[in-house]
Amino acid sequence: MYDPSMRVLTVLELLQARETVTGAELARRLEVSPRTVQRYVARLQDLGIPVEGRRGVGGAYRLKPGFRLPPLMFTGEEALSLALGLQALRHLGLTALAPAAQAASAKLGRTLPHALRESVQALEGAVQLDASPWVVPTDAALLARLLEAVRGTRTVHFGYVSPRGEATSRDVDVYRAVHLGGRWYAVGWCHLRGARRCFRLDRMRGLSVLEAGFIPPEAFDALAYLRTTLTDLPPTHQISVWLDAPPEELRGRVSQWHTDLRPEGGGLRLEAQREDLEGFAAFLLGLGCAFRVDGPPELREVFGRLAGRCAVAGAGGTLVHDPAPAAP
């Protein structure tokens, strides 16, 4: 349920909220044995927290009367930066961290003085952060292991699936983890290729941290390298679509990732580079406006296949097989 450090903190929170808490209740809440609860209490005592215990049947724990942890003190700007940072976390594709972000936000609210808490809550309610439709969900546990390796300058091993579906096994000295354009990337030295490379985290499989270490380059700008590398990559598909909608209606709904938008003929010209044409076709349909596909021909073929599926579904039938065209 929790790692040991989180359980120790949970014991402290329960003791602060209650006058006394029995060992049996702590064991039940933490899903551990009474002996383990004793170890957690001993850990708090080692940290200087005056936890008192009553042994025997019905034994209980309490904080020494009059003891209170010193409150955390934040300025208004510090509190707002923390609150907005927790809001922004929800738009990084790390959905597994959403409950932790909500819990941290609640703890922050309890920590702040009443006047500052009301001010921060009012400011939070006045802010809306846009979630890009191109954010790619990312495994938070994988990111945590990767960051552990970056911090310890340790080589990582993982399986990787390329955009073409090719699977390889990689050992990489990761210099930085970078979030760009709705995706998480690892940037570092690839032992297989003998060169610097970037890897999308959502394409990694089975990442493990190895014992081998490395010396990272000094003053290496991973974000600049990633931007240059992605710009230099040959586009998978060059897309050109005219949308029958004014720019203001689509503001915030179209990703800027490898995308150019400009007014044209009372509507909007969208030119983009994309790998997944079927996903892009579904995105266009979801905009709710008329559009014209000027290229590539493969995108028009995708819409033809989607039309066939829709016709079958509308007639109440079952689409048994809808093969994509064979690669040339």
Q: What pLDDT is recorded for position 322?
A: 46
Whether 320 is in a domain gets the answer: no
3-state helix, strand, coil in the chain (%, to 5): 40, 25, 35
Q: Are residues 151 and 200 in the same domain?
A: yes
Which range of residues forms the domain containing residue 186? 140-232
Burial 108-117 (b: 16+ CB within 10 A, else e): bbeebeeebb
Could you tell me if 248 and 214 lie in one domain?
no
pLDDT at 328 (0 to 100): 30
Radius of gyration of the chain (CA): 27
- The answer to whether 186 and 201 have CB atoms below 8 angstroms apart is yes
Q: What is the DSSP string of 94-108?
A: -GGGHHHHHHHHHHH
Domain boundary among 232, 257, 287: 232
Which parts of the chain have pLDDT scores under 70? 1-4, 55-58, 68-73, 123-125, 127-135, 231-235, 251-252, 255-258, 316-328
CATH number for the domain spanning 282: value is 3.30.70
Predicted local distance difference test score (pLDDT) of residue 234: 53
**Cα–Cα distance between 131 and 93 in angstroms, integer?**
9
What pLDDT is attached to residue 69? 65
SS3 (DSSP) at 78:
helix
The domain that holds 182 is classified in CATH as 2.30.30.520
Give yes or no: residues 89 and 144 share one domain.
no
The predicted pLDDT at position 219 comes to 87
Give pLDDT, residue 138: 84
Please indicate, yes or no, whether residues 164 and 178 belong to a single structural domain of this protein. Answer: yes
Out of 187, 216, 232, a domain closes at 232
Contact between 116 and 76 under an 8 Å Cβ cutoff? The reply is yes
Q: Residue 186: what pLDDT?
A: 94
One domain for residues 246 and 285? yes
Q: Are residues 202 and 286 in the same domain?
A: no
Q: Are residues 224 and 244 in the same domain?
A: no
Q: Is residue 265 part of a domain?
A: yes
* Cα–Cα distance measured from residue 323 to residue 78, given in angstroms and rounded to the nearest whole number: 55
Helix (H) or strand (E) holding 141: helix 140-152
Same domain, 225 and 288: no
Q: What is the pLDDT of residue 316?
A: 67
The reported pLDDT for the residue numbered 1 is 44
Alpha carbons 104 and 10: distance in angstroms, whole number: 13
- Dihedral sign, Cα of residue 272, residue 275, residue 281, residue 286: negative
Q: Is residue 51 one of the residues assigned to a domain?
A: yes
What pLDDT, in 10s, does the model give residues 26-41? 888 888 888 888 888 8
Domain assignment present for 280 = yes
Q: Is 219 left (phi over 0), alpha (psi -120 to 50) or beta?
A: left
Residues 41 and 90 in one domain: no
State residue 258's pLDDT score.
67
Instruction: Output the domain CATH number for residue 46.
Output: 1.10.10.10
Position 133 in a domain: no
Q: How many domains does the chain have?
A: 4
